Structure 1
Amino acid sequence: MTSSDKTPGLGTAVVIGGGLAGLGAAWALRGHAERIVVVERDHYPAEPAFRAGVPQGRHAHLVLEAGHRVLEEMFPGIKQELMDAGALRVATSEVRWLCSAGWMAEYPARMAFLSCTRPVLDQLVLKRVRADSSIEFLEGTDVVGLLGSAGAVTGVKVRERGPERGEVRDLPAELVVDAAGRSTSVPKWLTELGCRPVPEQRVDAGVAYTSRLFHRPAGVDLGGQAIYLQTKAPEAPRMGVLLPVEGDRWIVSLAGMRGAEPRPGEEGFTEHLAGLRDPLLREVLRDAEPAGEVRGFLPGPGVRRHYERSGPEGLVAVGDAASTFNPVYGQGVTVALFCARELRRTVRRHGGIGHAAARDARRAVAAASKNPWVMSCAEDARFDTTTGAPTGALLKLQHRFLDKVLAGATRDPLVTAAFHEVMSLVEPPSLLFRPSVLSAVLRG
């Protein structure tokens, strides 16, 4: 047993990245590290605003029901703060959802989510985290490398950004949390330390996004509060979503899998809108005035890094740095919150941030992201243009069963409710095999 196992200690924790995943991780470590340093490449805006370090922030975001429960658990009262900031409560039954089998049946909602733009959520979480004196921020600063060896990470190398870059300096730490997102350089830096490559899975559906904000026309009736026009493989690889956000606006995001990517700019947005498998979204937007420019986004492949199998001591990855999903399924923010919750539970159990706590946290983070990853990859595998997707007889059986579930969800409220609970990550996929749900599916 190492000395770190015996005496976890408080010590210093460094969090790479000050986005939502990094802020959640820093908050989770309160009271279990003497010093917590968040290194963020951007300078935070004074008011909610889109920023360069969160390129996906300009697109429609969902915090699923399970994510809201974690958010409220970790930041009590934040739901009310979100609503005070203009977020709108949307019952899941108020989402007009066109799945691959047709329109979802109406059902009595047991769940809801709060809908707002990403900067509103980020700003409220940042405000909470900034208020804790044990958490420091190094804004406008890059992490440029890791300290340590093949066996253990012992800190980071940092350098201020700007035209006159400062010198590289060392920031030692007992724990390093990688929350740098999709573009994390930590795997590359680990190889420079002599570590074995971290095992990873890559699934790439080639998805691309285009989004725009619109002013909500007065008196418009959607037949609900939000719209989700899902893809249907293989003949309809395009999707569209409309969510109400603060300021009497809608955010509309359109996406297409490889081969059906939206072209850039306003012309591409209009063209993609016309190519959706149902005209509802196009008709709703006919009289809506744009409230901003069209913005594109190429998220890249889904990547799941197995740090729980092969990772150096003193390192934990959270959020997109650990598991990156196809954004069309709306899982990313919720899974990032899961990671923060698991990190908090682990350091509490160990009483500190030592190596044993980091090892357990890596396992807990992997377990929390497993079901969302499997669900995301299984759907991506329906498209022939997806690379790295799972294959085989079991996957085909899963697809056939889910097709029956979706067909049932178009006519049976019991199945619709169960499907929403699974997709909201409140319940595991095994809920669909409970006798009451399964019998309703099979009757169909």
Structure 2
Amino acid sequence: MTVSGTRTAVVVGGGLAGLMAAWALRGFADRIIVVERDRYPEGLAYRPGVPQARHAHLVMDAGHRALEEMMPGIRRQLTDAGAEFVSATRDLRWLSSAGWMADYDPASLSFLCCTRPLLDRVVLDRVRADGSIEFLEGTEVVGLLGSSRAVTGVRIRTRGASDGASGGVGGGGNGVSDGALDGALDGALDDDGVGGGRSAGVRAVEEIRAQLVVDATGRRATTPAWLAELGCPPVPEEQVDAGVAYATRLFHRPPGFDPGWKSAYVQTAAPHIKTLGVLIPIEGDRWIVGLGGMRGAEPEPGEEGYDKLLTELRHPILSEALREAEPATEVRGFRPGPSVRRHYERSPVQGLLVTGDAATSFNPVYGQGITVAAFSARALRRSLVRRGDLGPATVREAQRGIMEASKAPWMMSSSEDVRFPATTGGPSGALIRLQHRALDRVLAAATHDPVVTSAFHEVLAMASPPSALLRPKVLAGILRG
């Protein structure tokens, strides 16, 4: 394959982050090529390159608003397909580490709930319908073209049945697992977990020249190794690992069940209570119920381990809801691995932009990843509109915007992870202890003061920055609490 690099953009990875990045590039590249390791399934099926697809996903309030800004009408398409909006106060029962969150009015914030295949399919159909974006499915990227100063394209090869359903490196979904859960979750991993992949044998390696390469390959992105091959210095990174693991099952909602809420969340209470559970409504009149634990409190394998953890949560709200519910699937386990933040903005390489989990991957229990990916695509689009080309200045600005989009979410999730003694990496010191004490005061006030609860939800939903907690009325409520 020979493609001119002039005004050509290659997006490596056709998951949500890659699709949204490709959408953002429209009108600023003559050719936009999405290189996807998998072949997209027909209909609402799970894709091997998204091993977390069988588990709970939600799009924060600010995330689905950003998605709607880029793809007008997408929220209506999702709800028409069965996705549900859950009000952050009317529909959600949330047991924080300090107690049940207070209700407040008006309920302006909501999060979007559906299965990952539904979300992926609606976004994919929208991108495909545009017609300006090309797809190379069943194709993996095996390296970058260029030098230590500039990336000028990618090296690709076609994958076949002999490569395995989910192996290989390069263009994939929004993250991969290590192929097996060690310790307590051995034997409970999804069938679609991704290992190292098998060799593609003698299949020819081809080249695509590009003015811009966008890395959207997910949590196990191999781009740092590819850059090392070009002689680039190591990419600065932060890493924190709370050892989280979780197990998920889908249930049919019991007929006539109406407790006055749609979703429930039983949170951890660090440092001693390391388990959590969440119930989220999804299409098909079903629930997806995820149970998890930080290192040392991981769910035991299979249905027996799932049921055991369900009864050990801090409150029986989930077990009571499921008492008459019929299981719709078997139990699936998953261990996402460490959270990583790679600072590509500090050592930019011309012609390369990194987005989604390949730039910053979070502990999934906080539900931040999809929203940050939407923010990142929006940052790319805004830089393109402002500067009008795919040049180095545009890419540098977009990379800074992508990292800025993940800054506050990373701070919140990593600082919460280090509350657990077995966590490795992450921030430490007097400042983080002060932050913990301050958040404890916020959560305590949020159990009875609607003003504080509303502000905290705004920050959590990424609709407002953490400074929203310093508004006079909010701060007064925190101090009174």
Give TM-score scaled by structure 1 length.
0.97
The corresponding residue for 2:221 is 184
Aligned pair count reads: 436
The corresponding residue for 1:426 is 463
Matched, 1:302 2:339: yes
The corresponding residue for 1:98 is 95
Question: 74, 80, 86: which is aligned to 1:84?
Answer: 80
Aligned equivalents of 1:50, 1:289: Cα separation in 2: 22
Aligned equivalents of 2:301, 2:445: Cα separation in 1: 37
The structural deviation recorded for 1:133 is: 2.3
Give, as a single letter, the amino acid of the residue that structure 2 aligns with 1:115.
C
The corresponding residue for 2:150 is 152
The corresponding residue for 2:395 is 358
Q: Deviations over 1:283-303 (max 9, x none)?
A: 111211110111111111010
Worse-matched range after superposition: 219-228 or 328-337: 219-228
Question: 30, 36, 56: which is aligned to 1:40?
Answer: 36
Q: 1:160-309 residue pairs with structure 2 within 5 A?
A: 160-163=158-161, 165=200, 166-309=203-346
Q: Is the 8 A contact 1:153 1:314 kept in 2?
A: yes
Q: Is the 8 A contact 1:302 1:323 kept in 2?
A: yes
Question: 119, 122, 130: which is aligned to 1:121?
Answer: 119
Q: Deviations over 1:343-364 (max 9, x none)?
A: 1111111211112211111111
Q: Is the 8 A contact 1:10 1:353 kept in 2?
A: no
The corresponding residue for 2:25 is 29
> Secondary structure in 2 aligned to 1:183?
coil
The structural deviation recorded for 1:10 is: 6.3
Q: 1:397-416 residue pairs with structure 2 within 5 A?
A: 397-416=434-453
> Secondary structure in 2 aligned to 1:113?
strand
Structure 1 vs Structure 2 CA RMSD: 1.1
> Secondary structure in 2 aligned to 1:425?
coil
The structural deviation recorded for 1:49 is: 1.4
The structural deviation recorded for 1:203 is: 0.5
Q: Is the 8 A contact 2:238 2:426 kept in 1?
A: no
Identity of aligned residues (%): 64
The corresponding residue for 2:194 is none
Worse-matched range after superposition: 267-276 or 337-346: 267-276
Aligned equivalents of 2:465, 2:377: Cα separation in 1: 19
> Secondary structure in 2 aligned to 1:102?
coil
The corresponding residue for 2:480 is 443
Aligned equivalents of 1:291, 1:88: Cα separation in 2: 19
The corresponding residue for 2:140 is 142
Aligned equivalents of 1:440, 1:286: Cα separation in 2: 38
> Secondary structure in 2 aligned to 1:235?
coil
> Secondary structure in 2 aligned to 1:274?
helix
Note the residue ranges of structure 2 that are not aligned, 5 or more in a row.
163-199
Worse-matched range after superposition: 415-424 or 273-282: 273-282
The corresponding residue for 1:63 is 59
The structural deviation recorded for 1:132 is: 2.0
Aligned equivalents of 1:258, 1:413: Cα separation in 2: 33
Worse-matched range after superposition: 236-245 or 279-288: 279-288
- Runs of 4+ deviating beyond 4 Å: none
Q: Is the 8 A contact 1:21 1:337 kept in 2?
A: yes
> Secondary structure in 2 aligned to 1:247?
coil
Worse-matched range after superposition: 403-412 or 158-167: 158-167
> Secondary structure in 1 aligned to 2:319?
helix
The corresponding residue for 1:384 is 421
Aligned equivalents of 1:126, 1:264: Cα separation in 2: 34
The structural deviation recorded for 1:279 is: 1.2
Aligned equivalents of 2:45, 2:447: Cα separation in 1: 39
Q: Deviations over 1:162-213 (max 9, x none)?
A: 1464311011110000000001111111111110000000000000111010
Aligned equivalents of 2:319, 2:426: Cα separation in 1: 32
Q: Deviations over 1:251-310 (max 9, x none)?
A: 011111001111221112111112211111111112111101111111110100000001
Q: Deviations over 1:108-144 (max 9, x none)?
A: 2111122111111111110111112221000011111
Worse-matched range after superposition: 333-342 or 110-119: 110-119
Aligned equivalents of 1:267, 1:352: Cα separation in 2: 56
The structural deviation recorded for 1:89 is: 1.9
Aligned equivalents of 1:293, 1:155: Cα separation in 2: 43
Q: Is the 8 A contact 1:10 1:352 kept in 2?
A: no
Q: Is the 8 A contact 2:244 2:363 kept in 1?
A: yes
